[in-house]
């Protein structure tokens, strides 16, 4: 018997919008949504700081 798998829904971590493609759509969404881009940039800066990077 075949098992049917449901596609996993991928959402923007910052606003919850459903993204069709987890990689390409995320980057396109960041370009189209200044609010999400600002939150993403802040998140990246925090990770870099905590990891000891520059």
> Could you report the per-residue pLDDT of 29-48, keeping only the tens digit for each?
999 999 999 999 999 999 99
- Given this model, what pLDDT does residue 53 score? 66
For residue 5, tell me if it sits in a domain. Answer: no
For residue 4, tell me if it sits in a domain. Answer: no
For residue 16, tell me if it sits in a domain. Answer: yes
Q: Which domain holds residue 35?
A: 12-50
**pTM (two decimals):** 0.71
Q: Where are the beta strands (DSSP E) in the chain?
A: 10-11, 18-19
Q: Which residues are paired to 18 by β-bridges?
A: 11
Rounded distance between C-alpha atoms, residue 41 and residue 37, angstroms: 6
């Amino acid at each position: 018997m075949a098992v049917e798998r449901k596609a996993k829904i991928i959402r923007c971590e910052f606003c919850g919008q459903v993204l069709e493609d987890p990689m390409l759509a995320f980057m396109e969404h960041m370009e189209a949504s200044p609010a999400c881009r600002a939150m993403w940039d802040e998140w990246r800066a925090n990770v870099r700081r905590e990891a000891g990077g520059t």
